[in-house]
Structure 1
Amino acid sequence: MIEVERLSKSYGSTVAIQDLTFQVEPGEILGLLGPNGAGKTTTMRILAGYLPASSGTARVADYEVHADSMAVRQRIGYLPETPPLYPEMTVEGFLFFVARIKGVAAGDRAARIAAALERCNLTNQRRVMIRKLSKGFRQRVGLAQAIVHDPPVIILDEPTAGLDPRQIIDVRNLIKGLAGQHTIILSTHILPEVSMTCDRVTIIDRGEIVATDTPQNLMARTGHGYAVEIGGDPQRALEVLQSVPGVTQVEPRPMTAPGRHTFQLVTEGDDPGSAIATRLVQAGLDLFELGRNQASLEDVFINLTVQEQPLLPPEEPPAADVDPVNTAAQPESTEIPEPIEFPEPTELSESTDSEDLIAEEPTADE
């Protein structure tokens, strides 16, 4: 349904995205993750026909985004991070306006609008002016305008921004209910929402894709961990744990009780839990607790991305010894400049009109 191949976008010398290639199957929900400035919004705007790409191709519902822009726009529902609303219109009036400009047949508009209002829990606010709604309800109106024409592709940029926990659950259920009949791309910073909503995840960092897989596979790929509480010689316990196949890192932690030593393990490959317990018992160490910790999607995100980048590179200040007019280097002067002497103020002569020294103020006509 969505095919992106070597898509790039630059703003002058700043590269927003570079050589993005991914696909979204019909009926699939793809989560687009990345730190601020990674290129998520730029990618969505290109797919929605809002921005042209610098290079590469993107196809939505078998139409090329650049060559068939109008056909693509008719087949997508787009919710930007800030919903495009008209505050002086009622919720229902705004949806009628959107349905008309999106080409919904006159005989189908009432039914489509009623369905969008019900899906977004806006039925009781249908006759309320948009400017009187809270931020959360405005976000719902933006979501309703994205689905009012029943498009095959829906692009959602931060759809739960500004919503309270109950509203987030409602939107999550709405998005999951749209899956199968609609292909959805969404971006969000609420990582638990991704693991509970999305079929696949694409992580972008510095404009490039660093990982694409299901949330479960990404978490499994990062590895598992164990917390172990052992009695006995801590140095002996450390040596035994480091010798277990699959254990890549052992970190001692503060003691939880006298005589009990805690270690945090990082593992990879096949689950080594049984081998850990067997080795410790064979070494004559007391095993009080062995708990397994699986990496979360947040751990995956932190491991694969770096700190968010500024949108534009900072300007370097000019060198101290370079004259901006004359590029020849100027040696620093060691002489102390002489003080500047100002003439003594003179008194106004009797012939001087003081009004001549006051700037005229513009009149009301001016």
Structure 2
Amino acid sequence: MITVEHLTKCYGDFLAVDDLSFEIDEGHVYGFLGPNGAGKSTTMNIMTGCLSATGGHVKVDGYDVFETPKQAKRRIGYLPEQPPLYLSETPEEYLRFVGQAKGLKGQELEEQIAGVMEQTRITEVRRRPISALSKGYRQRVGIAQALLGDPRVIILDEPTVGLDPIQIIEIRDLIKQLGKTHTVIFSSHILSEVQAICDKILIINKGKLIAFETPERLEKQLLAPSEITLTAEGTEETVRAILADAAHITQMEIREAGAERVCVTLKTDLEDICQLSRQLFFLFADRKTALLEMALKKANLEDIFLELTESTDTATQPEESEAKEA
């Protein structure tokens, strides 16, 4: 559906996008992640034809964004981080203007306006000035304009930024619905949000693609060791003796948690962390030692994001000798 080949963007001496290549398939929701300044918005602006590239190509449904921009742009609906709204107009007036700019006319225009307003749930506010709408409704109007023209690809840059928790949930649900009929690409700083609704995740850092996988495969590839924290009655010596019989423990930290109580943090290389927790339960039961608490921690997207971006930053740091020479 979308092919990005060796995309590069320079601002003077600053390399914002560095030889970026990936392919987006049709009919999925893609999350676009990266630290501030990683090149996410620049890449999205280039993909939509709003910004020129220093080098490389972007093709949408086979049409090059730079060589055949009209055909490529017809297939894309775009919501920038700052929605391009005319605050003095009503949503209905604004959508009519955008629809006409996209070449829609007559009955088709009116039907599409009614359809996108219903899809984004803004029909009830269609005749209010946009300036009087909440941030959440303004975002919905911005998404509605992106849907006009029935584009096959929807690109949303930070669609939930500045929203309250209820509004975030509503926009998240809307993106899920859009993913059933469109290819959706959106960027976000809310990692749990990306993990909850995306089929695949792209992570870039310093303009380079450092990961492109499903959330599940990222967990397995990067953070297979999972963590168990437990609190047990007994001395450190007693607990260590019990844990000596447990298999697949790769790391262990024990500390006192009060009189005759210890807290233990364990890491395992087992894919199914429940295998170890079951084993621990019966080991403590066999020794008639009370297991007061046990909590399982699985790898999450925040851990993965930090590991990837930090390892990339470390890899690009100059050696001490090189730094001195520089």
Short-chain TM bin: 0.7 to 0.9
How many Å apart are 1:106 and its aligned residue? 2.5
Aligned pairs (5 A) from 1:155-234: 155-221=155-221, 222-223=223-224, 224-234=226-236
CA distance in 2, matches of 1:193, 1:121: 21
Distance change >3 Å, CA 105–CA 247, structure 1 → 2: farther
Superposed displacement of residue 52, structure 1: 1.7
Match of 1:37 in 2: 37
Maintained 8 Å contact 2:227/2:265: yes
Q: Is the 8 A contact 2:236 2:256 kept in 1?
A: no
| CA distance 1:291–1:103, shift in 2 (3 Å) | same
Given that residues 139 and 161 in structure 1 are in contact (C-alpha distance below 8 angstroms), is that contact kept between their aligned partners in structure 2?
no
TM-score (norm 1): 0.76
Where does residue 62 of structure 1 map in the other structure? 62
Distance in 2 separating the partners of 1:57 and 1:128: 42
Write 1 or 2 for the structure with the bigger share of helix.
2
What are the equivalent positions in structure 2 for 1:278-297 lying under 5 Å apart? Answer: 287-297=291-301
Structure 1 residues 281, 118: closer, same or farther in 2, change over 3 A? same
Tell me, yes or no, if the aligned pair for 2:250 and 2:267 is still in contact at 8 Å.
Answer: yes
Where 1:17 maps in the other structure, the secondary structure is: strand
- The equivalences for 1:216-295 within 5 A come to 216-221=216-221, 222-223=223-224, 224-235=226-237, 237-238=239-240, 241=243, 244-253=246-255, 255=257, 257-271=258-272, 272-277=276-281, 287-295=291-299
The offset of 1:274, in angstroms, is 4.3
Q: Which amino acid aligns with 2:233?
A: G
User: For residues 1-366 of structure 1, what are the structure 2 equivalents within 5 Å?
Assistant: 1-221=1-221, 222-223=223-224, 224-235=226-237, 237-238=239-240, 241=243, 244-253=246-255, 255=257, 257-271=258-272, 272-277=276-281, 287-306=291-310
Partner residue in 2 for 1:347: none
Matched position secondary structure for 1:305: helix
Contact 1:32 1:186 in 2 (8 A): yes
Amino acid in the other structure paired with 1:262: C
Deviates more, 1:187-196 or 1:284-293: 284-293
CA distance in 1: counterparts of 2:205 and 2:136, whole angstroms: 29
Shift of 1:55: 2.1
* CA deviation vs aligned residue, 1:267-309 (integer Å, no higher than 9, x gap): 2243343454566677886544433211222222222224999
The aligned amino acid for 1:234 is E
For 2:230, the aligned partner's letter is: V
User: Could you say if the C-alpha distance between residues 29 and 259 of structure 1 is closer, same or farther in structure 2, counting changes exceeding 3 Å?
Assistant: same
Question: C-alpha deviations, 1:179-227, integer Å up to 9, x for none?
Answer: 1321110001112211221111111122222222212232344132111
Distance in 1, matches of 2:119 and 2:43, equals 27
**Normalised TM-score (structure 2):** 0.85
Alpha-carbon separation, structure 1, partners of 2:245 and 2:103: 67
| Uncovered stretches (5+) of structure 2, i.e. residues with no partner | 314-326
Please provide the CA RMSD for this pair: 2.6
Counterpart-to-counterpart distance in 2, 1:106 and 1:253: 73
CA distance in 2, matches of 1:148, 1:234: 66
Per-residue Cα deviation, 1:209-257 (whole angstroms, up to 9, x for no partner):
22222122323441321112233342564576588553332233451x4
Instruction: Structure 1: state its 5+ residue gaps.
Output: 310-366
Q: How many residues align?
A: 308
Q: Which deviates more, 224-233 or 55-64?
A: 224-233
Deviation at 1:260, TM superposition (A): 1.6
* Separation in 2, partners of 1:13, 1:252: 51
In 1, the alpha carbon distance for the partners of 2:45 and 2:283 equals: 55
Provide, for residues 113-159 of structure 1, a one-character-per-residue CA deviation record: whole Å limited to 9, x for no partner: 01111122211221122223233322221111111221100000011
Q: Hey, what's the Cα distance between the residues in 2 that align with 1:308 and 1:236?
A: 42
CA distance in 2, matches of 1:144, 1:187: 18
Offset at residue 92 of structure 1 (A): 0.7
CA–CA separation in structure 2 for the residues paired with 1:43 and 1:200 = 17
The farther-off stretch of 127-136 and 267-276 is: 267-276
Pick closer, same or farther for the CA change 1:104–1:308 going to 2, 3 Å: farther
1:355 corresponds in structure 2 to none
Q: Percent identity?
A: 42
SS at 2:151's partner residue? coil
Distance 1:294 1:20, change over 3 A: same
Amino acid at match of 2:259: P
